[in-house]
Chain A
Amino acid sequence: MKTIERYAVPIFLVVMALLPHLLDSRWQAVAITFLIFSVVALSQDIILGKSGMFNMGQALFFGMGAYITAILNSQFGWPLLATIPLAILVPALFGILLAGPIVHLRGDYLLVVTIGFNIVFVQVVQNNLGGVTGGPNGIFGLDALSLFGRQLTSQVSVYYFAFAVLLLTLWIMRNLEKSKAGRALHYLREDQLAAESIGINTRIYKIFAFGLGAGIAGLAGTVYATQYAAVSPEAFEFIQSVLFFSIVLVGGSSVPGILIGVFVMFVLPEIFREFATWRFFIFGFAMILAMILRPRGIWPATFGKIPKFLIKETNHGA
């Protein structure tokens, strides 16, 4: 496992860094989608995978970030990159406010409530709230990226923007793993009563997970709005949330598992496009098989990230 990590991570990063120069524009667009959806799936993993909360509304936070970017750009003329702080903070704040009253709910109830939130969000933007969300058609004609006064109109620059956001997300996930807060999420997922009895305020950390997951998804929304220079309600429907939920379950709550999950759910369907309707049939079965054969995901979460000096004798578990 360690050797895989040592080689696979640099290789993955190098390949991803070179990728847009190897692809034509259609596949560049697919690659950008892969990056964006990976970020959203990782943000969902913080809530669902790490903390074990059945959140079925991640597309809400994703969409909220995208809409904030679109509204600030089209209505107020903010440059796209300048919208990032608000596209992170507003969904994060919403995540905290929405989570506050519901995190104590048992898994299945939480799931239903988050579905409700997602549906309400889509209804609100469809009905053109405050006249700024553009109704069912959404918002069109956003500006291109610009950095230090230079226009970056090419798809390649959007790709690198998305790639930078993915790297930032991976960096945060890594920091989370090695922190008190990240461990608290694992503890409360494994046994909430034991976590409380050892001194963890589980409610605060659940809300923290929602806030962090929502903020990252909001940032992914900015990239999404940039890619299409547009946003529309149907991209953030409840069914999208179902996809992100399935990715974390099927992939397993680990970074490689989630990247594989996103690849399987979003990139493979593009590759097998000629099979048209058959692909969903096949992917449905692939999901069912994956869950039966590997109930903890294709690449399950691994624990045991403890400092080396603690491992003294033979490693029993390995």
Chain B
Amino acid sequence: MAHNELILSNVTKRFGGLTAVDALSFKVEEGQIYGIIGPNGAGKTTVFNCITGIYRSEEGSVNWRGEEIRGLTPYQIVDRGIVRTFQTIRLFSQMSVAENIMSGRHIKSKQGWWNGIFHTPASRRDEMDNWKKVEEQLDFFDLSEFAATPTGSLAYGIQRRVEMARAMAVDPTLLILDEPAAGLNDKETLGLLETIFKIRDKGVTVLLIEHDMDMVMEVTDYLTVINFGKKIAEGTPEQIQQNPAVIEAYLGSEDDDDE
């Protein structure tokens, strides 16, 4: 198998007359924590949607481990080890935390559709094995006490953790986080940083969009800055902080920081 690399080349996505992502290229290497930043409306989430199969870009290529994944459906992309979270949390809100995390085991479960009608010893074992994996995630994200609680009734910060736990239950190779710190307080953001480092230490590559600049500078190894769908800079956090184009793009948008 090829190297666990994600390479975007010249990805372009248009909505009618608007070019949301314009010939964007970047490369995420194995083991990195890679950040994509940009002002509001810069096309960051659209990039993620193009990678995860929710949108199909008109041009360019999305290459993962040497395979072209542009045009695959979201579940096919999950099957290849790329899982995402959403900026606006999308949990199964009437269902418990444990059931939400169990959804991440769907693709790993070996049960067939017929096991929805009758069980076999193998399907029972498979069911139990997957619940054990859910237990691991509950422990890892410190969610055990909420296992049976419907996610809709949980605090925002906890919901974020559940969403990450659900994504991690897939055992992804590449985890994509869409503004994971949005709506979190300082203490929760600190906890999130720790969690992201722990996830990386498990050998998972992390690609994230973030608005919170302090957090991005602290957590990422490498960054791409986009504005109006175009890349305006890339580099390490130190390089980015001194880049005049980036400073200009962010001038005047400092005040709509969520802090």
Q: A residues touching B (Cβ–Cβ < 8 Å)?
A: 172, 175-176, 178-184, 186-187, 190-191, 193-202, 204-205, 208, 212, 301, 303-307, 309-318
| A residues in contact with B167, CB < 8 Å | 198
Q: Which residue of A lies closest to B116 (CB)?
A: A181
Q: Does residue B111 face the partner (Cβ distance < 8 Å to A)?
A: yes
Answer whether A183 and B106 are a contact pair too, CB < 8 Å, given A193-B54, A199-B79: yes
Check B94 against A303 for contact (C-beta < 8 Å). yes
Check B116 against A175 for contact (C-beta < 8 Å). yes
Using a CB-CB cutoff of 8 Å, which residues 123-171 of chain B contact chain A?
Answer: 123, 127-128, 131, 134-135, 138, 144-150, 153, 166-167, 170
| A residues in contact with B131, CB < 8 Å | 306-307, 309-310
Check A304 against B99 for contact (C-beta < 8 Å). yes
Q: Which residue of B lies closest to A191 (CB)?
A: B90
Q: How far is the CB of B134 from chain A (nearest CB, A)?
A: 7
- Complex interface bits, B68-91 against A, C-beta within 8 A gives 1, otherwise 0: 000001110011000110100011
10 further interface pairs, Cβ-Cβ under 8 Å (given A175-B118, A175-B119, A191-B93): A179-B111, A179-B116, A197-B90, A198-B83, A199-B74, A199-B170, A306-B102, A306-B131, A315-B149, A317-B149
Check A186 against B92 for contact (C-beta < 8 Å). yes
CA distance A180 to B165 in the complex (A): 18
Answer whether A312 and B145 are a contact pair too, CB < 8 Å, given A176-B116, A191-B92: yes
Q: Which residue of A lies closest to B90 (CB)?
A: A194
Q: Does residue B117 face the partner (Cβ distance < 8 Å to A)?
A: yes
CA distance A315 to B149 in the complex (A): 7
Q: How far is the CB of A283 from chain B (nearest CB, A)?
A: 28
Q: Which residue of A lies closest to B95 (CB)?
A: A303
Q: How far is the CB of A179 from chain B (nearest CB, A)?
A: 4
Check A317 against B75 for contact (C-beta < 8 Å). no
Check B106 against A198 for contact (C-beta < 8 Å). yes
Q: Residue B117 contacts which of A198, A212, A315 (CB distance < 8 angstroms)? A: A212
Q: Does residue B113 face the partner (Cβ distance < 8 Å to A)?
A: yes
| Most A-side CB within 10 Å, residue of B84, B95, B111 | B95
Check B135 against A309 for contact (C-beta < 8 Å). yes
Answer whether A196 and B96 are a contact pair too, CB < 8 Å, given A175-B119, A180-B106: no
Q: How far is the CB of B202 from chain A (nearest CB, A)?
A: 19
Check B150 against A190 for contact (C-beta < 8 Å). no
Q: B residues touching A (Cβ–Cβ < 8 Å)?
A: 52, 54, 73-75, 78-79, 83-84, 86, 90-96, 98-99, 102-104, 106-107, 109, 111, 113, 115-119, 123, 127-128, 131, 134-135, 138, 144-150, 153, 166-167, 170
Q: Residue B148 contacts which of A180, A187, A190, A317 (CB distance < 8 angstroms)? A: A317
| A residues in contact with B104, CB < 8 Å | 198-199
Answer whether A201 and B75 are a contact pair too, CB < 8 Å, given A180-B109, A307-B128: yes
Check A316 against B149 for contact (C-beta < 8 Å). yes
CA distance A317 to B166 in the complex (A): 19
| A residues in contact with B83, CB < 8 Å | 197-199
CA distance A301 to B94 in the complex (A): 10
| B residues in contact with A199, CB < 8 Å | 74-75, 78-79, 83, 104, 106-107, 170
| B residues in contact with A317, CB < 8 Å | 96, 148-150, 153
Q: Which residue of B lies closest to A207 (CB)?
A: B113
CA distance A153 to B75 in the complex (A): 53
Answer whether A313 and B106 are a contact pair too, CB < 8 Å, given A176-B116, A190-B95: no
CA distance A301 to B116 in the complex (A): 18
| Most B-side CB within 10 Å, residue of A187, A204, A301 | A187
Check A310 against B92 for contact (C-beta < 8 Å). no
| B residues in contact with A303, CB < 8 Å | 94-96, 99, 150
| A residues in contact with B96, CB < 8 Å | 303-304, 306, 317
| A residues in contact with B78, CB < 8 Å | 197-199
CA distance A301 to B96 in the complex (A): 13
| A residues in contact with B116, CB < 8 Å | 175-176, 179-182, 208, 212
Answer whether A198 and B103 are a contact pair too, CB < 8 Å, given A193-B54, A310-B131: yes
Answer whether A312 and B119 are a contact pair too, CB < 8 Å, given A178-B127, A187-B92, A317-B96: no
CA distance A313 to B93 in the complex (A): 21
| Most A-side CB within 10 Å, residue of B74, B118, B145, B166 | B74
| A residues in contact with B147, CB < 8 Å | 306, 310-312
Q: Which residue of B lies closest to A182 (CB)?
A: B116
Q: Which residue of B lies closest to A307 (CB)?
A: B131
Check B148 against A172 for contact (C-beta < 8 Å). no
Answer whether A306 and B103 are a contact pair too, CB < 8 Å, given A193-B54, A196-B75: no
| A residues in contact with B111, CB < 8 Å | 179-181
Provide a sorted-by-A list of 8 A–B residue pairs whose CB atoms are within 8 angstroms.
A187-B103, A194-B90, A196-B74, A306-B131, A309-B131, A311-B147, A315-B148, A316-B146
CA distance A193 to B78 in the complex (A): 13
| A residues in contact with B95, CB < 8 Å | 186-187, 190, 303-304
| A residues in contact with B117, CB < 8 Å | 172, 175-176, 212
Check A310 against B119 for contact (C-beta < 8 Å). no
CA distance A279 to B219 in the complex (A): 68
Check B134 against A183 for contact (C-beta < 8 Å). no
